[in-house]
Amino acid sequence: MEPWNEIARKTLKEGDGSQKIQRRQTLGGGVVRGGIVQRCPHQRPARPSLAALGQNALPQHHTRPGTGRVMTPRPSMCHTSSLQTPSDKAQALQISGSDLLSLARSLLQAWVDPLVVLSDSAYTLPHPAHNSISNKIQELQEHSKILGDGLDVLSSKMGPEAQTLSLLPYTGNDIGQDRISKLINFHFLMSCFRRDSHKIDSFLKVLRCRAAKMQPEMC
Amino acid sequence: MRGHNMTVCARMRRDLGLALLLLLSAAVESDGMSPPGKPVFLGCRSPEKETFTCWWEPGSGGGLPTTHRLYYEREKLEGTHECPDYHSAGKNSCFFDKDHTSIWVDYYLTVVASNALGNATSGHFKMDVMEIVKPNAPENVTLQVMKREDNPYLHVRWEHPHNTDTKSGWVTIKYELRVKHRNNNEWKEYTSGTQTQFNLYNINPGEMYVVQVRCRLDHGSWSEWSNSTSVKTFNYPQNDKPFWILVSALSTVPFLTAMCILVIKRKYVKKVLLPPVPGPKIRGIDVQLLKRGRSEDVSNALIINQGFPSVPAWKDEIEDYLIVSDDVLLPDPHRKKKSLTVAAGFHLNLEIQCKESLGQRDWEKAEERKNGIDTFPPQLPTQKQLCPNVTFVHAEATDQRWPIHDAAAESTVQLLAPTGYVDIQRHKSMQEEADGNEMDYTRVNDGNILILQKDKFPGCMDVQRQEENIPEDYSRVKEVDGDNKVLLQRQSFSADSSCGEKGTPYTDCTNKKPINPHVPGPSKVELIGSGYVDTIY
């Protein structure tokens, strides 16, 4: 079984991926009122691409963790797993806007370096579609940058609480030497990235809906 | 012998037992009694990102009552746990409610089927709630044909699936719809975004349309399509159209015909509709002449005007002059004199020019008294000539003296000055001569004298003075005859009974003797005003 082929094929599913990548747009300025940003939220992108990129890409794993033939890294080993994030709706709605923004920015910041690693290794990935993958990674980097800049502007208007960043350094500098390790590690990083992008998407949408009280179409 | 029989019996019993055993075991195996087969996960689904359900497929039954159990492990959660709810979602399912649902964490699920004979375990099923989000279909899809002038459109409305939260931003719902004709199989898809309504404009009348809607949360999976909703659009009201087309076509033909006729006969039409209006034109006046502008010509042109219609005298306002003179030195009517033409309405001093020599003098004197002559100095009498006394006609018109020109044949005259009056002068010295010459106060038809009335009368008439209290200068009018004749009462005077009849012109005899009141004949004098005729010295 070649799960990697499957992953790549689904990863490059243009219909979902490209459109969503483009939705990562810059945030405009906003008015801070009571710690909540007004007026901007409608410009906030969903974090589509990253989340959707991997959504269909990762097949269901049927191997028991730790017992399969291949040592599949567990998601708890993502470098961002130490960040405390809400795990359900109730928790998420209790968090303040500033904290939500802070979380989003931290996550985004945490992926700057890993994306570089991914970008470098995608080109040499032992996969037939490594070129497309490489392109996609570059798109992801660009959009991440844009989104990060926008969030920085937003946080500067929200007050000091929003400015706090949690550092989540990425220590891995290599995805492996042999083919299998490369593919596995690549896949693992992509799945971590997908989850984190999904988190950022959700946090920002909650923030947006909260800020646009008079505009139900924002929710 | 006996030993041999026993051996055969035992053997037979042994065979029989074996056969039975075989039969039994065979029977048991044919019922499917076995440990359960391995169940298979069908999948999991979260309709609103708050709960989720997983389904599995049991393996082969094994013939024995089998129970299935789902166990799961979760990231950031210690231990193995069993499914909290096997029943809410139906058979072979496990429902995780809100308390048991976490997102952005991996779940590892297993199902264990067990029966009397054994267990069977499915493989691990790893999932994250964020990956399995698939909402229910939108609800209450309604279709309406909206009539907007001549462009009807379809208005589609729906509601979000009832279990999704649209208020907090935890999920963002996006919609899609698709449309097709009833008989067609081709769907046309449209994206509606987050709106729960949509307008379809490209519809044809008289067709049945079918619409379906679906949705998804954030970037999860699309829901199933909603149930078909259909509606039939109206037909065009076609009954009226052909009728009106026919009417307009039929009415165009006569209209065009009429237009053609009008165009062809436009001159005639023009004549009928816009009859030519005669411009103002004065007979005898040449517009071109006026334009050229030589004053003499102009004046002549204006004066010489034939055929003035007779204007009934405004009796109340007009004071016509009567030429009265007891001076017989009236020019011979037969003499050719210059005649004057006077246009009505012109203010003028008409002077009679008799002989040239006299005329000059007369003119001179006349000139001295251009404006409304009242008196006349008795200078003329000294002349004793045939010239009549200067008579002035004072009209309301301008002071301008009209040039006199020869008009031998012209009859002229009418003096129609509204208030023309003629001085009557008295010439004592001319009294003697009054016998002789009688002034012929005829119309200028004769070419002589300017006279007031139009009739001709040969003679003159003497003024008759009355003995009553009439001022010396006045003569009483006896009667009015007709339109323009006034009969004056004669004064008795010495000699002149030769004055002829008619006489508008009456002579004021300077004779101061009482005059017989008899009148030789009806003398006609124009009656003007109060019955008195001024006599003016």
pLDDT tens per residue across span A6-31 = 433 343 333 333 333 333 333 333 33
- Chain B nearest-CA distance from A202, in A, is 7
Burial class (CB in 10 A: 0-12, 13-18, 19+), B120: buried
Residue A77 pLDDT > 70? yes
Q: Which of B124, B172, B219 sits opposite A55 (nearest CB)?
A: B219
Question: How many beta-carbon pairs under 8 angstroms link A with B?
Answer: 96
Residue range A101-130: mean pLDDT, rounded:
91
How many C-alpha atoms does B301 have within 13 Å on its Cβ side?
17
B331-359 as b/e: b if 16+ CB within 10 A? bebeeebbbbbbbbebbbbbbbbbeeebb
- Which pLDDT score is estimated for B151? 80
Task: Taking residues A114-135, report their average pLDDT.
Answer: 90
Determine, for residues B194 and A217 on separate chains, whether the beta-carbon distance falls below 8 Å.
yes
Please say if the pLDDT value at position A97 is more than 70: yes
pLDDT of residue B529 exceeding 90: no
Beta bridge partners of B217: B173
Is the pLDDT higher at B454 or at B295? B295
Q: pLDDT per residue over B138-197, tens digit each?
A: 999 999 888 877 788 889 999 999 999 988 999 999 999 999 988 888 999 999 989 999
Give the model's confidence band at B19: pLDDT under 50 very low, under 70 low, under 90 confident, else very high. Answer: confident
Q: Give residue B256's identity as a one-letter amino acid code.
A: L
> From CA B79, how far away is CA B86, in angstroms rounded?
20
**pLDDT computed for residue B239 by the predictor:** 61
The beta strand positions in B97-152, using DSSP E, are 106-115, 118-121, 125-128, 139-146
**Worst-scoring range by mean pLDDT, B272-276, B413-417, B424-428?**
B413-417
Position A135 pLDDT exceeds 70: yes
**Any chain A CB within 8 A of the CB of B194?**
yes
What is the CA A216 to chain-centroid distance, rounded?
26
- Give chain A positions within 8 Å (CB) of B172: 46, 205, 219
CB B91 within 8 A of CB B42: no
**Which residue on chain A is closest to B72 by alpha carbon?**
A64
Q: In Å, how far are B260, B295, B318, B336 from B343, measured between CA atoms? A: 54, 17, 15, 21
What ipTM was assigned to the predicted interfaces of this complex?
0.73
- Sheet containing B52-57: order of strands: B40-45, B52-57, B93-96
**CB atoms B75 and A217 under 8 Å:** no
List alpha helices for B293-376, DSSP H.
295-303, 356-368
* Residue B345: pLDDT over 70: no
Residue window 470-499, chain B: list those with CB within 8 Å of chain A: none
- Structural contact between residues B444 and B498, judged by C-beta atoms closer than 8 angstroms: no
From the list A61, A63, A87, the residue facing B105 with the nearest CB is A87
Could you tell me if B238 lies within 8 Å of chain A, comparing CB atoms? no
Element at B176 (helix H, strand E): strand B173-181
Chain B residue with Cα closest to A219: B169
CA A156, A157, A160 angle in degrees (round to 5)? 60
**Which pLDDT band, with edges at 50, 70 and 90, does A175 fall under?**
low
Instruction: List the single best residue of B219, B221, B222 to mutate versus A (max A Cβ within 10 A).
Output: B219
Residue numbers in A near B130 (CB within 8 A): 51, 55, 195, 198
pLDDT at B118: 86
Question: From the candidates B100, B104, B163, which should be mutated to test the interface with A, based on the most A CB atoms within 10 A?
Answer: B104
Search chain B and give the residue with CA nearest A66: B124
Which is nearest to B109 in space by CA: B91, B88, B89, B129? B129
- Other beta carbons within 10 Å of B291: 8
- Provide the token pair at A212: 């646009």
Judge: B128–A87 Cβ closer than 8 Å, yes or no. no
CA distance, residue B236 to nearest chain A CA (Å): 37
Confidence of residue B130 (pLDDT cuts 50, 70, 90): very high
Nearest CB among B50, B104, B194 relative to A198 is that of B104
B191 vs B413, more confident: B191
Chain B residues within an 8 Å CB radius of A60: 125-127
| Least trusted range by pLDDT, from A12-21, B323-332, B483-492, B521-530 | A12-21
Contacts of B61 (CB under 8 A, 6+ apart): B32, B36, B37, B115
Across the interface, whether the CB atoms of B219 and A48 are under 8 A apart is answered yes
Contact between residue B205 and residue B90 where contact means Cβ atoms under 8 Å apart:
no
Put simply, whether B123 touches A (Cβ < 8 Å) is yes
Task: Label residue B25 by pLDDT band (50, 70, 90).
Answer: low
pLDDT score at B319: 64
Q: What pLDDT, on a 0 to 100 scale, did the predictor assign at position A158?
A: 85
Tokens 């119309």 label which residue? B443
Report the residue of B44, B76, B97, B103 to disrupt the A interface, i.e. the one with the largest count of A CBs within 10 Å: B103
Token code pair at residue A107: 């996550």
Best probe of the B interface among A22, A88, A193, by most B CBs < 10 A, is A88
Q: Closest-CA residue in chain A for B173?
A: A219
What tokens were used for B534? 């001024």
Residue with the larger pLDDT of the pair B436 and A203: A203
Contact assignment for B128 to A195 by CB distance below 8 Å: yes
- Cβ within 8 Å, pair A217-B101: no
pLDDT higher than threshold 90 for residue B109: yes
Which chain A residue has its CA at the smallest distance from B123's CA?
A: A62
Highest mean pLDDT out of A209-213, A215-219, B23-27, B452-456: A209-213
- CB-CB neighbors (< 8 A) of A218 in chain B: 169
Segment B411-417 shows an average pLDDT of: 41
pLDDT band of residue B536 (cuts 50, 70, 90) is low
Looking at residue B344, its pLDDT comes to: 41
- Mean pLDDT for chain B overall: 69
Query: Closest to B218 (Cβ–Cβ): which among A74, A201, A218?
Result: A201
